[in-house]
Amino acid sequence: MLDLRIGAVGAQGDGVAPGPAFVPLTLPGELVRAQMDGPRGELIEVLESSPDRVTPACRHFGHCGGCAFQHWDTAPYLEWKREQVRFLLSREGLETEVLPTFASPRASRRRVALHARGGKGGVRLGFKERRSWNLVRIEECPVTNPKLVAAFPALARLAAPFLEHPKSAPTLHVTLTATGLDIDITGVEAKSGGLSADARVRAAMLAGEADFARVTMAGEVIYMARQPMVKLGPAIVSLPAGSFLQAVPQAEKAMVDFAVEAAQGADRIADLYSGAGTFTFRLAEIGSVHAADFSAPAIAALKGAIGTATGLKAITAEARDLTRRPVLSTELKKVDVAVFDPPRAGALEQTVEIAKSKVARVVGVSCNPATFARDAKVLVEAGFRLDRVLPVDQFLWSPHIELVGVFSR
């Protein structure tokens, strides 16, 4: 057990090995007592607290692994995220204007992944503990929409039939849509034959009692009372089972607004990694849009929603793996603005084609600043300038950072 002074990067104290040491749930400048295990420690006691330390908003904080920074005051926490973006860009030799971090409000998450486990005390539903596979039964969650939190007891009951096999470890991916809760369940043991007919019937009955919109198991429909619908810009989209959707509507709007502002004046726009149309429909208010995404169900949903909005420019869409088959520079010949919003691995293959094209402006959206910086360097080396970046705190009180960056020739 050691007393440590926490720095901006790590902890320092007698007996700590050379190099950074990490003690979660502490803040820069604090003097703490910690139990060290190599370079990582567990907090025992805060001896001198930072003026930036605040009372956590949730009684599960510190036990639940869902939040890391509830003890940090808002302003320094958001500035830290901004500095992380600056740092990751600087590692690639990139400098630009990094705007203040957009902050998602509390109680705003419309999508969560809840783990379910069985036992003598009945079904436990919640998030995993810090650094553990153990489960914390969650009864409150200040980051999540209250309508979703209110459904936790019904979701625990729904999970029971999916635990019939001892090796099943269900995860309920729950999305709050305009027509009710959409639940896609993964982690059910399949090698032994999957869910029994009896369990399926019980699951459907429980879903009906809770008035859920839809329940699917790895995309297969178990129960559906209503098609889950979401509003993306001016369009109404039928959400495919298990489909990606931005977790916080306010963060989604901030990112889309930023992209739309950058695309003003464009006649032809490419929306790459479009999903079901998060950016597509707003961009189509400016110019014609060609959307591409690897998910065929998402593209089908996008196409099906085109008729739900009026006053849009032409939209075309294709299901296409942009890693294996990126849109080529020759196909981007008449495009004025390219928007890309890839998974965490980034868009390197597609970025190379954009760099070779004559596209005048690019908007890069990312859930991983490190891969964004890598891809941004490709564009800058090809003659683009990174004009500005907006960090987005979509996952409140977590280390996760999203961003939108604008490039011009």
Written as six digits, the tokens of 88 are 């990751």
Catalytic residue among 58, 64, 67, 367: 367
Q: Residue 65 to residues 24, 48, 219: CA-CA distances in angstroms?
A: 11, 24, 27
Q: To the nearest 10°, the Cα dihedral for 188, 191, 197, 200?
A: 10
* Whether 64 is catalytic: no
Which secondary-structure segment (H or E) carries 364? strand 361-366
Measuring CA to CA, which residue among 165, 64, 150 is closest to residue 115? 64
Assess contact for 269 and 290: CB atoms under 8 A: yes
- DSSP letters along 146-208, please? HHHHTTHHHHHHHHGGGG-STT---EEEEEEETTEEEEEEE----TT-SS-HHHHHHHHHHHH
* Sign of the alpha-carbon dihedral angle for 157, 163, 169, 174: negative
What is the distance between the alpha carbons of residues 400 and 395, in angstroms, rounded to a whole number?
6
Catalytic positions, please?
Answer: 367
